[in-house]
Structure formats: structure tokens, C-alpha cells
Chains A and B, each alone.
Chain A
Amino acid sequence: MTSAGTGSDARRDRRGSARHVIRHLVRAPSTVLALLVLGTLGGTALAAPLVSPYDPLEQNMGDFLARPGPGHWCGTDQFGRDILARIIWGGRLTLQVGLISVAIAALAGVTLGLSAGFYGGWPDLVIMRFIDLLLAFPSILLALGVVAVLGGSLPNVMIAVGIAGVPQFTRVVRAAVLGARGLPYVEAARAVGAPERLIMWRHMLPNVLAPALVLGTTSAAAAIITGAALSFLGLGVRPPAPEWGAMLSTGREYLRHAPWMSIFPGLAIMLAVVSINVVGDRLRDVLDPRLRLE
């Protein structure tokens, strides 16, 4: 990757350390651009009350289906609501689904994968057979099944998308643990009599973090798409809430007369997902060169 530098530099800038990761992330212009896009989408969503030009729910029947132009940069919808304002506020919901569902998947997946890989034997057998079972369903079908049972709402979408992501995390983490189990320092910890639980959380977990972080990033992109898809299908966030997928679903009905209702929310989803994928690819190159695509 890079030259190791002087001894003290190398110590401060170890592979996998936060400093090492950040330094390499910002070296590629495409990653910087992606981070800027994500920062803008996330920042405007967080600061929505301050930066949004209009109330996302405020109807203005005198100005319905207005073309994009001064005043309404992304046009208005069938109730005269400003599309830009709805995209800014909608970012809160859509990005939240991505983040929280990945957090659910990661939390469950890391715990299961760590336990399966570390203890082996019957815990491994039971956990991995359960994961095989979940993998027997295509992931959106699994998410649909969960939504069918729990009902469609924002928290349920997060749970559904989260559960659909558990198998991948479990497998990746288990593989990382199996790889690290025989490493000399783990043997050494065992030889000096460190308790099993300490070995698992203190010595194994750091080995697992890099692949889990890479997977978490790409999973966030997939989660945003699945979450928005569920809302698009009418099984997630419902109108009038300004969620990007739900906005597209409404826009579909006005495709002929007001294509901007579909174009802009879709662009927002695409920008978010492309940016996350670019950062994820770069993160993988930095943290785990073995997984590199070439």
C-alpha cells in the first residue's frame, strides 16, 4: 500500500488505525467527492428545520405540479408541496432506515458470528444452521415476510431490513474469527490463563471489526435501497410522510405530467447509494487488501 515510513511514524499510523484509514480514504478524489455528497445529504437532513425552504407537509393548492424553477427548485407535487423540502426532510427517514437497520444486523450478526466462530462445536452448529435457514430466503422476501407479520411501519421496516442483513454479518464475522483463532497472540493469551470471555471480546473482536466495518458500509447502501423499496411498495413509511421511496411511489402516478416528482427523489437515493458504495469500496481497499476486487 504505502511505505511504512520511519519506525515511530509506522507505530502511530498502523494499518487499521483510525488515522491510517482516514489518511487513505481522503487520498482518492472520488472518495472525497462521495464523502462530500454524503455529508451534504446527511447534514441537510439533520439541519432540515434550518435549511429546508418550505414545510414538507404544507399544501399549496394554488401551486400544484409546478415545474422546477425559481421558488421551487425541484418543482412541487400534486398538493403543491415543495419537492426539495420533502427530499431534505425525507433524508431523515431514508438514511435513518439505512443506518439503524445495519446497526441491528451488525449487532446481531457480530454477536452470533463471534460466538459461532469462537466456541465452535454445537453453538456453531446451531447458529450456522439457523443462518442457512435465513439464507434460504432471498433477502427482500425475508424482509417482506417480516413486514407481513409485523405490519408496515418505519420501525418494522428497520427490523425487517435488519433481520435480512444478519446472515451476511454472521458469516463474515465467523470467518474472521476462525482465521484469528490460531494466531500466536491468542494462543499466548490462553497460555497465560486469560478467561475465555476476555479473549473473545478483547482479542478477537478487533480482528472482526475491519471486515464488519466494510460489510456495514456496503450493507447500508443495500439497506437504503431495500427500505425505500418497501416504502415504494406501500409496505413501509406511508404518505404523506416524505420518505424517498414513498415519494417515488406517488410520483409514479404523475410520471406523464410531472416527471420531476419521480426524478428528484430517485436521484437522492442514487446519490446516497453511489456515495456509500464508493466509500465502501475504498474502505475495503484500505482495511482489507485481500478482499480487493482485482
Chain B
Amino acid sequence: MIRYLLRRVIAILPIMVGVSFLVFLMLHLVPGDVAEIMAARAQGGGGPESVARMRAELGLDAPFHVQYGRFVRSALQGDFGRSYYTNRPVLVSVLEMLPYTIRLAGAAMVITAVVGVGLGLLSAVFHDTWVDRLGMLISLGGLSIPIFWSGLILILVFAVTLRWLPITGGTEWQRLILPAVALGYDGAAFVARLTRSSMLEVLRQDYITTARAKGLRAAVVILRHGFRNALLPVVTLAGLQFGRLLGGTVVVEAVFARPGIGRLAIDAILFKDYLLVQGVVLFVALTYALINLLIDVSYAWLDPRIRYT
């Protein structure tokens, strides 16, 4: 297990180097003179001196490979430069917004898992009945309704019309419910479809027939023999789903005017604060890689065949 873990960790290192290079490259791919654009925004002027100062600050006068070396060295020390949008170090700005996004993503993930797996399980067990069809209709809705619209409809129904939940004011937990439902439903649709197909596949296996023939109760057959095996592909693809979830937070935070990493990214892009954009992109990509690593490891833990191949 430890060797497997080590192998997985080593495998993501080249990806991380590549990611850092792409993020570093962003600054160089901006059309026009990035120092000029940023100086105009940051120092309100953009005269030759402030452009020169910005160029020096960004280290743009050094050769390309030296710049990349410096970028990696500073990044490893947690130094991503200073954001002129928040007027604070980039890392501090990101970390400040992190709890909001973690709460949103966490709550949404719970909804995704519970609703998605539940819906998929019901659809598979009641295959080809109205339960199945209703389940898949709900799931088709989740796949097809954009979050920014379901979010607005949730606000319209539960906040504006029924006044059950606040959009502004109220406690943080009250404000979390609607965004988490919007984001969670989006993911649940995908998980439901996957759980259903995986479960249907498993229910056709011989060992399920054997378990049934032994006279085990239906619930035991479905949950202990069927569901545990059906869960494997669902867990693997949960990594992919988490990427969608992270992306979704960007949109949900905008719809509900919530603070968070996604909102910070949008503001940074609109404000052309490229250092902040770089910091957020790198941070999210790193988080994504780590979560995928965790999922890989949990997969190996669930399925011993993986460890030994």
C-alpha cells in the first residue's frame, strides 16, 4: 500500500511542474505589454516610470528561464506576489476566501453523494418502472439545467416568493442552503446515472444470483453484495465530479453573491490582476490534483486488486 501511495505521489509531480509552467506562461501570453496593462490598473497611471516599476516587480526584465525559476522558487515558499485588487499578498487573499468555498463545496458534495447515490440505487433496483423513469428524469434535469439558472429559480421560489431563506442577512448556514442545493443537484445528476448503470451491471453478476438463491434478504443482497461492488466506479469518477464541483463554485458564488475563491477569480480576471489570477488557478489546480490523489488511494483501499498490479 505504501509503495502504491509513493508511486501515485511521484506520478503527480511532473503534472505539477507542467501546471506551474502553464500558469507561469499565462503572464507571457497576454496580448500586449502586461506590465503596461497592470501598471495602468495598479497605480492608476501607467506612465513610463510606473510601467518600468511594474516590469521590475514582475521580474519581466530577466531571461525567460530565470523568470520561471524565480516563479517556482517563490511559489514553493508561498509567495505569489501582491494583488493590487485586494491590496494584500495573493496567498493571503486566497486563504481568506478558502473557508467560504470549502463550506459550499463540502455541503454540495454531501448533497451530491446522498441524493445521487440514493437516486441511482432506487433507479437500478426498480429498473424499468416509474421510479426508474422519474429518477432518470430528475437526473436529466440536473444535467441540463445550468447552475446559474437553477440558482436563480431557487432564489426566486425560496427567498423572494416563500421567504423561507434569506439571500443576504441570516446566519452563514442559512445562506449556505440554497447555493449548496443548486451546486449539489448539478453533481447528483451525474452520480445518479453512474450509480444506476454500475449497479445494474453488478446486479447481473453470478454472485448476486447466488446470494439470492441462498435466500438472503433482498436488502442484504442489494446493499451488501450489490452496492459495495457498484460503488467502485462511482468513487473513481467522483474525482472528475469534484472538478465539476470546483468549477461550479465559481458560478454559484456569482449567482448568490457569496464570497469565495471562484468570485475572487472572476474579480481578478475582470480587474486584470494577473498575479491574483495565477495564484487562484494554481491553487485550484493543486487542490484538484490532491483530491484526485486521495480518491486514487481510496480506490486502492476499496479494491485490493489495484494495489498489487
* Beta-carbon contact of B144 and A274 below 8 Å: yes
Q: Write out the residue numbers on chain B whose beta carbons fall within 8 Å of the beta carbon of A145.
A: 23, 26, 277, 281
Q: Which residues, 209 to 223 on A, are CB-close (under 8 Å) to B?
A: 221
Partner of A141, one of B140, B270, B281: B281
Binds A, one of B38-46, B241-249, B297-305: B241-249
Q: Write out the residue numbers on chain B whose beta carbons fall within 8 Å of the beta carbon of A294.
A: 127, 196-197, 200
Check if B255 is an interface residue, CB within 8 A of chain A.
yes
Binds A, one of B64-72, B79-87, B146-154: B146-154
Taken together as a complex, chains A and B put the C-alpha atoms of A229 and B262 apart, in Å, by: 13
Taken together as a complex, chains A and B put the C-alpha atoms of A129 and B288 apart, in Å, by: 17
A137-B285, A229-B146, A269-B149 known; A255 vs B156 contact (CB < 8 Å): yes
Binds B, one of A67-75, A170-178, A191-199, A230-238: A230-238
Taken together as a complex, chains A and B put the C-alpha atoms of A181 and B269 apart, in Å, by: 45
* Beta-carbon contact of A235 and B284 below 8 Å: no
Partner of B15, one of A136, A139, A229: A136
Q: Write out the residue numbers on chain A whose beta carbons fall within 8 Å of the beta carbon of B14.
A: 129
Check if A150 is an interface residue, CB within 8 A of chain B.
yes
* Beta-carbon contact of A137 and B145 below 8 Å: no
Who on chain A is nearest to B22 by CB?
A133
Tally of chain A residues near chain B (CB < 8 A)? 43
A138-B246, A149-B29, A252-B152 known; A235 vs B19 contact (CB < 8 Å): no
Q: How many A-B residue pairs have CB under 8 A?
A: 133
Check if B170 is an interface residue, CB within 8 A of chain A.
no
Chain B min CB distance to A264 (Å):
11
* Beta-carbon contact of B148 and A138 below 8 Å: no
6 pairs of A and B residues whose beta carbons are closest in the complex: A140-B247, A266-B149, A138-B243, A274-B144, A133-B18, A273-B144
Question: Can you name 10 A-B pairs with beta carbons within 8 Å?
Answer: A137-B281, A138-B288, A139-B244, A140-B248, A149-B30, A233-B266, A266-B146, A270-B146, A274-B144, A278-B140
14 other contacts beyond A136-B285, A138-B284, A269-B149, with CB at 8 A cut-off? A137-B19, A137-B288, A141-B246, A141-B285, A144-B281, A145-B23, A149-B29, A149-B30, A229-B146, A232-B251, A248-B152, A255-B155, A273-B143, A274-B140
B residues engaging A (CB < 8 A)? 14-15, 18-19, 22-23, 26, 29-31, 127, 140-141, 143-149, 152-153, 155-156, 160, 193, 196-197, 200, 243-244, 246-248, 250-251, 254-255, 265-266, 268-270, 274, 277, 281, 284-285, 288-289
